[in-house]
Amino acid sequence: MDFSDITRIAAAGESENMEFKATTGERRSAARTLSAMLNGQGGSVMFGVCRDGRVSGQDVADRNLEKVTAVCRETIYPEFPPSIQRIEVPGTGGRQVLVASVPPGIRNRICTTETITSGRA
């Protein structure tokens, strides 16, 4: 995936297998979405893309990647961390879009640890 793919997908908008998050600060919500995608057709969450499709990117440090992976490990049960790509946004001084992706339902049932602790699993 490259920046032209990001702009094409962002212009098409969110869908059942694509969700946008402005920053990795929304990683907990993204983990819940990825959990749902694991139960269906798979999909991706793009960090650095606004809901209106504007691609802003964000300053990404290795710590951002670690935080996204950690919250997915803590939230998705059984544990299934997403694959994560970093795509540079041209003309932004190094800002990037992070694309966290999961494959179609490869396990019987994926849920969030929030579901388990609430007794809804």
The pair of structure tokens assigned to 79 is 């544990």
pLDDT at 113 (0 to 100) = 62
**Global pTM exceeds 0.85:** yes
70 pLDDT tier (thresholds 50, 70, 90): very high
Section 91-113 average pLDDT: 83
80 pLDDT tier (thresholds 50, 70, 90): confident
- Percent of the chain at pLDDT > 70 equals 87
Whether the pLDDT of residue 114 is over 90: the answer is no
Dist. CA 64–CA 57, nearest whole Å: 13
Q: What residue spans define the domains of the chain?
A: 3-118
pLDDT at 110 (0 to 100) = 62
CB distance 49 to 25 below 8 Å: no
Please write the tens of the pLDDT for every residue from 47-63.
999 999 999 999 999 99
Dist. CA 73–CA 8, nearest whole Å: 30
Which superfamily, per CATH, for 3-118? Schlafen, AAA domain (3.30.950.30)
pLDDT at 117 (0 to 100) = 55
At 78, the amino acid letter reads P
